[in-house]
Structure 1
Amino acid sequence: MQILKKTCGAYGTNCYILKSEQGDFIIDPGDGAFDFVKQNAAEVKAILNTHGHFDHVWDNEAVKRHFKAPIYIHKFDEFMLSDPFGMGHEHSKADILITDENEFDIAGVKFKFLLFPGHTPGCCMIELVGEGLAFSGDFLFQGSIGRYDFPYSDANLMKQSLERVAGFKDELRLLPGHGGETTLKTEQAHLDFWLRNF
């Protein structure tokens, strides 16, 4: 598999194209991502949103319309696709709402949405099952964590999510929603520091 990345928009949001033999998967098409996707993707099988913040879903509808690809997002963040922050992005509609953490298969590629609420109600890491890789969205960054002081954020849920991920044993390469890549093991080493701030 091949992964392409472009940093999009004023907030430096990472859009990823996961290219496989079965087709391409788009993760978090932010502001300006459509041209990047159009130039580098062929047969788009799905658009996967780690969460619903506008800078991660800005070009959802443009990509969906062009490639006829379904949008996947956790059900708790579906409401954000209609732009409750009033930022002006085109509204999009989810085709598949994630309701649990079961593995599911899209065109022969297996994914798992791992729910870590706090940054948003439906904030997820999207694991590429069997590949030791997860798109961590705005939950975990290189040397940092997602903010929990926004509308619809929840500090208590964020603390619980960090406590939960601290116990994960899997070795995972993390591709965050902003900044450079890291690993779960690297970020677990810093979790005590962040948890002391609650």
Structure 2
Amino acid sequence: MTEYEKELTKYFNEIALESEFDNSSENVIKWTKPMKLYILKDKEYEQQVSFIKSTVEKINEIAQDDFKIELTSGLMESNSVIFLCEREKAIELDSALFEGINEDFSGLSLAEFNNRFEIYSSRIFIDITEPIELQKSVILEEITQSLGLLNDSEKYTNSIFYEKQSIENNSNFDYSKEDIEIIKLLYHPYMKPGLNKVEVEKTIKRIFENKK
């Protein structure tokens, strides 16, 4: 592999096999069926909803293994919910949403997966009391993290996974080149749920070899 491909492999391992909340499985987790996303909101929030839709379109264009996010009009049809509300309202709607999480944050993404490491449900929270530009950055990050990319990193400042975005007031409204590459790698037909670090590195090498 080239030096860039080696660096990208390390970055994928950091984002996909670890978690910012220390509950990492150290295996690939991903959706193997469509993610049916319901927007739960108490007002119109037109800018936020528009940005959610554009994020969904971007992800659907990037994924390479027929994975899609579908926006649904009913909660009962969904397997993923994005809460657009204040934190107190979100707790009223889902008392377990912030369980075990004591820190302040502008957004949150939780993915539930089975013993085959397939994600079957996710919950996303966006704090609508934050400035709209920050909300947009958080929407992009949290929807993407709900795909199975659950960690942050200090590696690339222009990445949506950049750990110090809020501290440095460094909001990112689009994917970096590296972000796009790791979404492609996770949602590539060769990348199977449950792969460990050694298997991931072999799989990525195979993906890069097939591109040449």
- Both structures adopt the same fold (TM-score exceeding 0.5): no
More helix per residue: 1 or 2? 2
Max radius of gyration: which structure? 2
Task: Give TM-score, length-normalised by structure 2.
Answer: 0.27
Structure showing greater relative contact order (alpha-carbon pairs closer than 8 Å, 6 or more residues apart):
2
